[in-house]
Structure formats: structure tokens, C-alpha cells
Amino acid sequence: MKLDLYHLDAFARRPFEGNPAAVCPLAEWLDDAVMQAIATENNLSETAFFVREEEGYRLRWFTPSVEVDLCGHATLASAWVILNELEERRETLRFFTRSGELRVSRAGEGLAMDFPAKLSEPAAAPEAVLAAVGVASADVRMTDDILVAVDDDAIVAALEPDLQALKALPGRGVVVTAPGREFDIVSRWFGPKVGVDEDPVTGSAHTSLAPYWSERLGKRRLTARQGGRRTGELVCEVREDRVILTGQVVPYLKGTIEF
């Protein structure tokens, strides 16, 4: 069997920035075990697979170890493949996913993703979170991720969390965030529980970050940078119960999987 494979940098303005994702267009679904094996072999934070449906595309995402409910950067990368390689005349895409319908539209040089917003609540046991992350104090909140908000972006840049301790915490991963200097918000996301020690740019995390910082900063439109050694950029706009995440994609490699 031969499958097309695209390797793209999402939330990036040039190669080697943002978050790398693999995208595999399919004519029909493979066994789940085969898709997981491909994602493990790719060894990127996410590999996306999609199949054409009558009104759009069914989209699924796999880390090197598990299938996940929502992924932003691999959705952005999948939309780029469709709009630039498969259906160049289309302006808007509909994706059907485990998190419901997601829409992606052209937006100047980038793509805009319409995702559901997630509101956070105070975490029940912040002490364990602070110890695992390695910060003295923070506003610790919970969605599907643990959100740790600190006051200084230098704290975010210097983080060296205890990854084993993070695995014992509830939720999917931990995002540590602060107000930025060049950007409205900065963050880093850690997900060793799902096989991703640190994700350079996590679009899905911004469905929680954007509503949180929108309320704190009094702004509906936020510029954001995420990452440690490798970083990427996006714009978040809060619209009631939705968040519009806009970013660019840079293609890196196109190849063929044979097995």
C-alpha cells in the first residue's frame, strides 16, 4: 500500500518554526492500529488523517501514542493540504471530528479555524500542579488541560517542569501562560501523558487561553506566541462561545508511505 504524506509547519511564517504536523489524505479509513502505527513512526506531535465526505471531510488526529479529541495545528495543516493541493478553488472547509464540526476558511495569507471556546474553572488541588511545574504561585485553572497563569513571561521562558510529575496530574496536559511583551499572551504546553513532552504550538489549548485572557485583559482579539526552543504565532478572536484561531502554514515535505 502507498499513501501520500505531507509534512508541514503550522502556525509558522517560515520553515523550521511553528509546530510540525503530518497529514495523510485517505480514500477510505485504515484500521485504527495502522493509523496509530503510522503516527508512531512519524514521531511528530500529531498525524492527521482525513476522508472525503459528501459535505466536507471526516478528520482524526493521532499523537505518537494515542488518538486525541481535538488538535489545532494538524487541523490547520490538513486544511492547507486540501485548499492548496486538492481543492484549490474552495474558500471554506467543513471538518467532522470527535469535537464536533470545525470550519476553516482562507484569511489573507493564513487560515482561520472556528473552534468551540472552553471556559476554565478553579483547579481543586493547585499545590501539586505548582510543584510539578516548578513555580511558586499562579492562578491554576482546569479545562481539559490544566491552565497555569503566572504574571511574568520570563517565568514561562525558564520553565523546566517535572515531566513524570505532570503525568500524575488530571487532564490532557498542562499549559503555562503569562501576559507577553511583544504579544498579548505567551504560553508553553506540556503533555507527557499523551506522548508529547512539549508541544511547540497547541491550537486547541488556545480555545481555553483565549477566553481566559480575553476576560483578564479586556480584549476580544489577542496575539499569541507559544513555545520554548521552537515557537510559533497565532491570532485568537473570542466570539461568544467560539474562538477563531488564525495562523499560517509552511509546507516542508511531500512523500509517499509504503507498507
| Cross-strand partners of 254 | 6
Q: What is the pLDDT of residues 115-134, one digit of tens each?
A: 999 999 999 889 999 999 99
| Overall average pLDDT of the 208-234 stretch | 97
pTM: predicted TM-score of the whole model, two decimal places: 0.94
pLDDT at 100 over 90: yes
DSSP string, 123-150: -S-HHHHHHHHT-S--EEEESSSEEEE-
24-44 pLDDT, tens digit each: 999 999 999 999 999 999 999
CATH code for the domain defined by 121-239: 3.10.310.10
Q: Which is catalytic among the residues 17, 46, 198, 233? A: 46
Decide: 201 and 172 in contact? Cβ < 8 Å: no
Catalytic annotation on 46? yes
% the chain with pLDDT above 90:
96
Average pLDDT of every residue of the chain: 96
DSSP code at position 145:
S
CA triple 7-163-153, angle to 5 deg:
80
Overall CATH class of domain 2-116+245-258: alpha beta
**Percent over 70 (pLDDT), the chain:** 100
- On whether the CB atoms of residues 64 and 40 are closer than 8 A, the answer is yes
Q: Where are the domains of the chain?
A: 2-116+245-258, 121-239
Pairing state between β 2-10 and 139-142: unpaired
Q: Do domains 2-116+245-258 and 121-239 have the same CATH topology?
A: yes
Per the CB < 8 A criterion, the answer to whether 177 and 149 are in contact is yes
Tell me whether strands 2-10 and 56-62 are parallel, antiparallel or unpaired: unpaired
Q: Can you tell me the distance from the alpha carbon of 151 to that of 157, in angstroms, rounded to the nearest whole number?
A: 12
CA distances from 92 to 108, 111, 119 (A): 13, 9, 27
Q: How far apart are CA 28 and CA 108, in angstroms?
A: 32
Distance, in Å, from the CA atom of 111 to the CA atom of 107, rounded to the nearest integer, reads 5
